[in-house]
Amino acid sequence: MLKESIRLAAREGAERIIESLTQRVREVDSRVNAYVQFDPKKIQRSQTKGPLAGVPVSVKDNICTRGWETTCASKILEGFIPPYDATVVEKLRQAGATIFGKCNMDEFAFGSSCETSAYGPTRNPWDLNRVPGGSSGGSAAAVAAGEAVAALGSDTGGSIRLPAAFCGVVGLKPTYGRVSRYGLVAFGSSFDQIGPITKTVEDSALLMNVIAGHDERDSTSADLPVPDYTKALGRGVKGLRIGLPREFFVKGLDPEIEKSVREAARIYQKMGAVIKEVNLPHTKYSVAVYYIVAVAEASSNLGRFDGVQYGFRAAHGNLRDLYFETRDQGFGEEAKRRILLGTFVLSAGYYEAYYLKGQKVRTLIREDYTKAFDEVDLLLTPVSPTPPFKLGEKLTDPLTMYLSDIFTISVNLAGVPAMALPSGFTKSGLPIGMQLIARPFQEETIFQAAHAYEQETKWFKQNPKL
């Protein structure tokens, strides 16, 4: 865990932590496949004195690391070595962190299962026949399997929270604008956020203290002061109004998950919170809106991958071949599907019926949240309608896969912050996660409530047997 590692490293240096973690990766990563890049020789020990004291942190492979290949788990970025660090990586280094390895993911973060990686799927440490969730599946699996002290992921429609729930760890998607995206390979620019994936709520707060804040290189980062998030821990939940949105407890929700989240509500009530049912009436449209607006942004963002400036270039005759062949051979199936869909919804004659319509329904979804937050301070929901599914189970049917994100996507559409944290296990021993959603820039309320629940239940004490 990050907090304990910092304490240990401050006393005796981080070498022992880096060594034992390296040993752990050697032992288990041939089975888990959480890393796309791990090379002990490349780990540059931090020489900076800072709050993270040299402790290793792992980074999703769509976040640029100077001098380290950054591939987004795509063949098209094979061999791309960024000449600069993403702002979050720079901040980690300035805080004294050692960058430990690059984590596996769905190609370009397109997926909910971590199976679309060009480097093979990551497996769920709790059951190797099951998916870790996606797209930040490598980051979540690494933390769950003890192969990372803490990791960064990115979340466009649930890509931090779904894998956190499936792997039994804590994943925070901060408010849109809270963390700089400079150096994050763009997917859906009006949705993408970087956030921490950690074993505990306190670890999440410690990392947020390092990565949050304004950055002049990302004009969408908010110029607002960053609180000390650890101060929100231990405040308790007395008087806090927590809402259960009716639209999240519907047919299709696994009964064991429903029971677990409702039990969490009962625990909150016992601790002094006020539980109330609320409505988010447009929730059922969120997946449809997302698969118009986010893929439109993605198709535009992925236009730059054409074999000219970086990464893979296919054998070619003329310039047209260079573009068409590089993109055909370089992108995987899901990337092509989203590029095609995005190109279609932005194409002449369809823009208004699809893209503009999607943006309008997005407004209604945002307004749902604004109204709900007039009544309550926080929302409590499931993260996923099902426990982790088997590898291959949803891969052939994209729509079924997309619906795995039904409870996470509306959060990105509204830009609000949300955390997935462990809320128990199924009878068969698979992790269950719950989600806490707050008003924009109210991550402290999430930390406050998440910490109270975590200290009451202590699910984080359980570890997968590998």
Residue 214 found at the interface with another protein (CB under 8 A): no
Task: Identify which range of 21-29, 97-105, 180-188, 339-347 contacts another protein by CB under 8 A.
Answer: 339-347
Q: Which of residues 161-190 bind another protein (CB under 8 A)?
A: 176-177, 190
Task: Indicate if 159 belongs to the active site.
Answer: yes
Q: Which of 20, 23, 347, 463 binds another protein (CB under 8 A)?
A: 347
Q: Which of 325, 393, 455, 456 binds another protein (CB under 8 A)?
A: 325
Closer CB to another protein, 205 or 222, in the complex: 222
Among 30, 47, 219, 428, binds another protein (CB under 8 A): 219
Nearer to another protein, 125 or 188 (CB): 188
Pick from 312, 389, 407, 460: which binds another protein (CB under 8 A)? Answer: 312
**Exactly one of 60, 91, 102, 173 is catalytic; which is it?**
60
Binding mask 275-304 for another protein (x = CB under 8 A): -------x--x-xxx-xx------x---x-
Interacting residues with another protein between 396 and 435 (CB under 8 A): 398-399, 402, 413-415
Which of residues 121 and 307 has its CB atom nearest to another protein in the complex?
307
Q: Print the SS3 string covering the chain.
A: CHHHHHHHHHHHCCHHHHHHHHHHHHHHHHHHCCEEECCHHHCCCCCCCCCCCCCEEEEECCECECCECCCCCCHHHCCCCCCCCCHHHHHHHHCCCEEEEEECCCHHHCCCCCCCCCCCCCCECCECCECCCCCCHHHHHHHHCCCCCCEEEEECCCCCHHHHHHHCCEEEECCCCCECCCCECCCCCCCCEEEEEECCHHHHHHHHHHHECCCCCCCCCCCCCCCCHHHHCCCCCCCCEEEEEHHHCCCCCCHHHHHHHHHHHHHHHHCCCEEEEECCCCHHHHHHHHHHHHHHHHHHHHHHCCCCCCCCCCCCCCHHHHHHHHHHHHCCHHHHHHHHHHHHHHCCCCHHHHHHHHHHHHHHHHHHHHHHHHHCCEEEEECCCCCCCECCCCCCCHHHHHHHHCCCHHHHHHCCCEEEEEEEECCCCCEEEEEEEECCCCHHHHHHHHHHHHHHHCHHHCCCCC
Nearest 5°: the CA angle 86, 90, 91 is: 115
Q: Which of 216, 228, 277, 375 binds another protein (CB under 8 A)?
A: 216
Give the binding-site size for another protein (rule: CB under 8 A): 68
By the rule CB under 8 A, 157 interacts with another protein: no
- Does the active-site annotation cover 276? no
Residue whose CB is less far from another protein, 144 or 293: 293
In the list 337, 425, 455, 457, the residue contacting another protein (rule: CB under 8 A) is: 337
Active site residue 135: yes
CB of 112 to another protein, least distance (A): 14
Catalytic residue among 113, 139, 154, 159: 159
**Interaction of residue 68 with another protein, rule CB under 8 A:** no
The whole-angstrom separation of Cα 63 and Cα 70 is 7
Min dist. Cβ of residue 3 to another protein (A) = 32
Q: Which residues are at the interface with another protein (CB under 8 A)?
A: 79-81, 83-84, 176-177, 190, 216, 219-220, 222, 282, 285, 287-289, 291-292, 299, 303, 306-313, 316-319, 321-325, 327-328, 331, 333, 336-337, 339-341, 343-344, 347, 354, 356-364, 366, 398-399, 402, 413-415, 440
> Among all residues, which ones are annotated catalytic?
60, 135, 159
